[in-house]
Amino acid sequence: MNIRILKDRTASGVMFFLTVISLLLVFVMGIGLYLKSAPVFEEHTLKELLFSANWKPMKGQFGFLPFIMGTIWVTGIAVAMALPIALLTAVFLTEYAKSYVRKYVFPALDILAALPSVIYGVWGTLLIVPWISNKLAPHFVDFSTGYTVLAGGIVLGIMILPLLVSLFIEIFSSVPAEFREASLSLGATKWQTTKFVIIRKTMPGILAAVVLAISRALGETIAVLMVCGNLPEVPRSLLDSCYPIPALIANNYGEMLSLPLYEAALMFAALILFVVVLFFNVISRVVLYRLEKTFN
């Protein structure tokens, strides 16, 4: 008898330990990245690092503005492209489609979500980059390699589609059927019900899902590295090359060891990503949890 209770207690202790250890990872990660990037703060102010466009690591100048702007551009295009498609698809699947349609679309979304980033990158270089370079860009500029902000945005947009659609579907199906019935019985069409009841009721959730998708897009590395062109300049148009933060980290991991300050600067880049993603995730998850509670 005692042995059984002892086993139960031990198991409880071990499990609690494993849970706490894995939770601490969030803090350890933040602290580790901060300590590693600390040297760069000694020589530069935060303002200088974030808002200067001077990127000359060999001379000790680390202005992250080109990379920050590159990330914002690419992410912005990705969200602008993915949001309407994801919203329409999710409404179609939850409100309109028969179950056999879902049987085909869900596996397709699964596949889209499962494909590795490097495969998206290969697809982008084989299809999107030549298309921009040969078909699209000649209408606007004399010459473009195709490795542009736009290519990065398109590829990233497709990568965040499955996440957005599955979050939207989850959110929309949490709205109780009575809401829909009440609206339909007043003579509203299905689209009017969707527009005035479902979307309005779930607005915080939709925004949270978008923020979550943004934070996913911010961290994508290999795919944008392969299609964005990687020039450390602030992009001026959709057909300029850009250099998002994750690509910067991935591209320079070999060289950075030779210069201690360079390594610190790259760790600072990782820290920026970490902090922004952490912040976005906490907000949107808390909103989504709340939403789940209100309807249940």
Question: Segment 257-286, which members bind other proteins (CB under 8 A)?
Answer: 266-267, 270, 273-274, 277-278, 280-282, 285-286
Q: Does 289 bind other proteins (CB under 8 A)?
A: yes
C-alpha closest to that of 53 among 45, 62, 44, 42: 62
Binding test (CB under 8 A) with other proteins, winner from 49, 64, 73, 89 = 89
Pairing of strands 55-56, 61-62: antiparallel
As a dihedral over the C-alpha atoms of residue 99, residue 105, residue 106, residue 109, rounded to 10 degrees, the angle is -160
Q: What are phi and psi of 62, to 5 degrees?
A: -125, 90
**Contacts of range 41-46, beta carbons closer than 8 Å, 24 or more positions apart:** 41/268, 43/261
Q: Does 85 bind other proteins (CB under 8 A)?
A: yes
Closest approach, Cβ 141 to other proteins, in A, equals 25
Binding test (CB under 8 A) with other proteins, winner from 68, 149, 158, 265 = 158
Only segment of 54-62, 92-100, 171-179, 196-204 that touches other proteins (CB under 8 A): 92-100
Site residues for other proteins, 185-244, by CB under 8 A, read 188-192, 212, 215-216, 218-222, 226
- Closer to other proteins at the Cβ: 26 or 141? 26
Please answer whether residues 276 and 218 qualify as being in contact, where contact means their C-beta atoms are separated by less than 8 angstroms: yes
As a dihedral over the C-alpha atoms of residue 199, residue 204, residue 207, residue 211, rounded to 10 degrees, the angle is -150
Only segment of 18-26, 51-59, 63-71, 176-184 that touches other proteins (CB under 8 A): 18-26
- Closer to other proteins at the Cβ: 35 or 141? 35
Q: Does 88 bind other proteins (CB under 8 A)?
A: yes
- Closer to other proteins at the Cβ: 20 or 47? 20
Binding test (CB under 8 A) with other proteins, winner from 127, 182, 203, 207 = 127
- Closer to other proteins at the Cβ: 107 or 236? 107
Only segment of 25-33, 62-70, 72-80, 176-184 that touches other proteins (CB under 8 A): 25-33
**x/- contact string, 49-68, with other proteins (CB under 8 A)?**
--------------------
Q: How many CB atoms lie within 10 A of CB 43?
A: 14
Q: Does 177 bind other proteins (CB under 8 A)?
A: no
